[in-house]
Amino acid sequence: MACGNEHVDLLNLDLASLALQLKAWGIATAHAGHLRRYLYRDGVRDFAAMHELPPRVRAQLAESATITTFAIERESRADDGLTRKYLLRLHDGRQIETVLMRTGRRTTVCVSSQAGCPLGCVFCATGQAGFDRNLTAGEIAGQALFAQQVLRDAGAVRNDGAPDRVSNIVVMGMGEPLLNYDAVMTALDNLCDPGGLAIGFKQVTISTVGVVPGIFRMASERRPYSLAVSLHGATQTDRLRLLPVARTWSLEELMDACRRYAAALHRKIFFEWTVIAGENDGAEHAAALAELLHGIPAQVNLIPLNPTTGYAGSTAADSAVATFRELLQASGIKVSIRQRRGIEIAAGCGQLAASPNA
């Protein structure tokens, strides 16, 4: 909760903890609402500029608290500026990537949950680069707030002339969010709170590659966020070839957890399928997937493989992806093909690596 200089990062605190912390500093908890508005809505990062707080409170905060900020190492743009990838430096020098995507009515920020990733999925640049550490709640929420500030600074407007704002959050950046469960949930709860960015729960998607205990925990805690499960293979053998995590949690355990989540939340689950030529794009794979998902409220998102230097597999042909979709649809499964965004700036799924040259 405290950073190196023992200042407390306010973005690490949930509502209840913030009130307790203010109390501990001798600050009336009645100031929590104003403070949260400055932190989340207005993006104020200088306590001296929080004019609606009494001077004594501002002074106390300046002495004891801090607010996550990032240094922008690099910005890359694609899709006529509608996709932007940011390489951000954390207070300890580590680097993460955050992607901002504007499509139609949606403005989505893809946030990282870890610096690096320990899971090593074979086609993922983050996994190929190894693991540094978990991000704090403040560093996770801070990426969405950073994106909001980018939009504000640019004076971005929507088609109807209203100021553009972050409408969707996907925790699909660097790292496995369910290995950093508490920080991810604190960050998302803060962002979705009406006193935060007031983002709808259903506009938030957490993507896991199959960390079974985390899915069970989401189910038992009735976490209202959308769940995306990166499947990529419909048999244990197929998953083992691509995803080392399948050694820890088998496909059978994963599907049990998915059924529990769907029953507890009455929500469909998004199943992500990176389509790799000759690996998982055949009719037999589609049939196995349809059978696996039988009885589960599901939508399959097909993601044509994005290139990374550490994996030799190649993207399935458009025709193969289309056929795969038709086969699933014929089995009654909802399917979408993920629009490819930001590939040339390595901002697509599986491409984030915080590499200076990416």
The angle at the Cα of 125, spanning 112 to 171, to the nearest 5 degrees, equals 20
Whether the Cβ atoms of residue 269 and residue 262 lie closer than 8 Å to each other: yes
Q: Judged by CB, which is closer to ligand SF4: 21, or 274?
A: 274
Closer to ligand SF4 at the Cβ: 127 or 196?
127
Nearest approach in angstroms of CB 247 to ligand SF4 is 13
125 CB contacts (<8 Å, ≥6 apart)?
A: 308, 309, 310, 346, 350, 351, 352, 353, 355, 358
Q: How far is the CB of 166 from ligand SF4 (least distance, A)?
A: 21
Which tokens go with 125?
Answer: 């640049």
Q: How far apart are CA 137 and CA 55, in angstroms?
A: 28
Minimum distance of ligand SF4 from residue 96's CB (angstroms)? 11
- Annotated catalytic residue, options 124, 192, 258, 349: 349
Nearest distance from C-beta of residue 110 to ligand SF4, angstroms: 11
DSSP state, 105? T
| Side chain identity at residue 236, one-letter code | Q
Residue nearer to ligand SF4 on the CB measure, 22 or 269: 269
In terms of Cα–Cα distance, which of 313, 310, 357, 303 is closest to 335?
303
Handedness of CA 304, 309, 313, 318 (dihedral sign): positive
Residue 227 bridge partners (DSSP): 206
CB nearer ligand SF4, residue 117 or residue 298: 117
The angle at the Cα of 88, spanning 3 to 138, to the nearest 5 degrees, equals 35
- Give the separation between CA 31 and CA 202, rounded to whole angstroms: 29
Q: Which is nearer to ligand SF4, 81 or 310 (CB)?
A: 310
Give the residue at shortest CB distance from ligand SF4: 127
Is 97 assigned a catalytic role? yes
Rounded to an integer, what distance in angstroms lies between the CA atom of residue 49 and that of residue 55? 10
What one-letter code names the amino acid at 95? Q
CB-nearer residue toward ligand SF4: 166 or 209: 209
For binding to ligand SF4 (CB under 6 A), which residues are involved? 117, 119-121, 124, 126-127, 174-176, 209, 350
d(CA 197, CA 190) in angstroms, rounded, equals 8
Q: Exactly one of 97, 176, 272, 279 is catalytic; which is it?
A: 97
> Reduced to 3 states, what is the DSSP secondary structure of residue 204?
strand
Alpha helix (H) residue ranges in 193-282: 212-220, 236-242, 251-265
- SS3 state at 67: coil
CB of 211 to ligand SF4, least distance (A): 9
CB of 242 to ligand SF4, least distance (A): 9
121 is catalytic: no
d(CA 187, CA 84): 22
Q: Which residues are catalytic?
A: 97, 349
